[in-house]
Amino acid sequence: MTDTTENRSLGRTLLLLMAVAISATAANQFYNQPLLPSIAKTFGLEPGDIGFVPAATQFGYAASILLISPLGDTVDRRQLIRYLSIILSLALFAVFLSSSFWVLVAASFIVGLGSNIVQQLLPFAASLSAPENRGKVIGTLMTGLTIGILLSRTVSGSIAEYFGWRSVFLVAAFIAIVIGLLLNAYLPRSTPSVQMSYPRLIASMFTLVKRHSLLRESAITGALWFAAFNAAWATLAIHVVAEPLSYTVQQAGMFGIVGLAGIFGAKAAGRLVNTVGPGRLITAALLLVLSAFVVLAIWGESLTGLIVGIVLLDLGVFGAQIPNQIRVFSIDPAAQSRMNAVYMLCYYIGAAIGSAAGVKVMSLAGWHGLALFGGALAITALLYHCWMQLKSHRLEQRAVLKGNP
């Protein structure tokens, strides 16, 4: 695919707007995590059932990636983002007004659908940037994503402490409206040259999965580490508000500031990916994720242990995300939206399963059981990644030998 746009250049102002929009939009998926104890109290739920709320948002996001993200290859992305902004704003108002638990779950699912704005902006920016600058551009946008994911918990916890958990989503709805208006005003219009029916467009994603082993590897590895990440964050508030820590919801949300360490992982990965290589960076990042769960398992009952574990976890996850996504974008420039859709679909299915399973494991086996669960996911991701890297290296050696008798 080759896009034509009103302005092919990606200036600093537009890049900053995209980064802010990604940050604000991504935050909507994670506002509910530190609020789970309060939401459970409102609706009289058992601890194991409240996991449906974050899972619904993540499943909604995964569904949007499958059904909406591929449209970025065939329609004007600015117009698509306009409609998604309307959906997101209305869904956030619905969460604010939810009268029953299942209405809340349904509205949370639609919040996930509307948050597909993120997955339209990432390939949009990639198509507007030169190949030699793509690592820095994606690194900047992923820094925005990191800030949104992590500060969302701090913001929601602080607002909920004084105004109640519903007020968080009222504020989020107004922010979504403002961001939507700005994007509609400043994004260039894109006119994709690919003309394909919607059924063929969706079917082509499965063809891409079958054709590209690197896409399969990136998707599976990313799903595993993001499942571990969300299992930890979805249960952190439940863990710290209980004894022996007994923190408030606001204090639980403050752990999001600690998680901002992920910004350094994202920025470092964006700078190093062209020199070190994506494979090695991902290996190093997964070792950090594994070490995080070791720390959380051993010292997770203390504030120091939690801080160290969270720092390692966020450094690892966001340090791995940049090189993983860059290599996905490099596979086939003519199908960047669909490539990204396949990758992020697996990524957020992993997030949804990790959130729901993490809360359930926490209710059955406590914090130590949760840490072991996250560690098992991290080990699986590391072993699979290393095995695929070794397999790829052997195939390259065979190709060299055949070409040089």
Name the pLDDT band for 24 (thresholds 50, 70, 90).
Answer: very high
Higher pLDDT: 7 or 255? It is: 255
Give the separation between CA 293 and CA 382, rounded to whole angstroms.
Answer: 13
Whole-structure pTM value: 0.75
Q: What's the mean pLDDT in 272-291?
A: 91
What does the pLDDT look like over 108-157, one tens digit per residue? 999 999 999 998 998 888 778 777 777 778 778 888 887 888 788 889 98
Q: CB under 8 Å to 339, separation ≥6 — which residues?
A: 208, 212, 215, 328, 329, 331, 332
pLDDT for 404: 52
| Residue type for position 48 | G
The pLDDT tens digits for 90-108 are 999 999 999 999 999 999 9
In terms of Cα–Cα distance, which of 251, 262, 235 is closest to 33? Answer: 235
Judge whether 342 and 209 are in contact, CB under 8 Å.
Answer: yes
* pLDDT of amino acid 400: 64
Mean pLDDT of 159-172: 94
pLDDT tens sequence across 52-82: 898 899 889 889 988 998 888 888 989 999 9
Strands 190-192 and 3-5: antiparallel
**Over residues 13-33, mean pLDDT:** 93
Q: Hey, what domains does the chain have and what are their CATH numbers?
A: 9-192+205-403 (1.20.1250.20)
Q: What is the pLDDT of residue 403?
A: 61
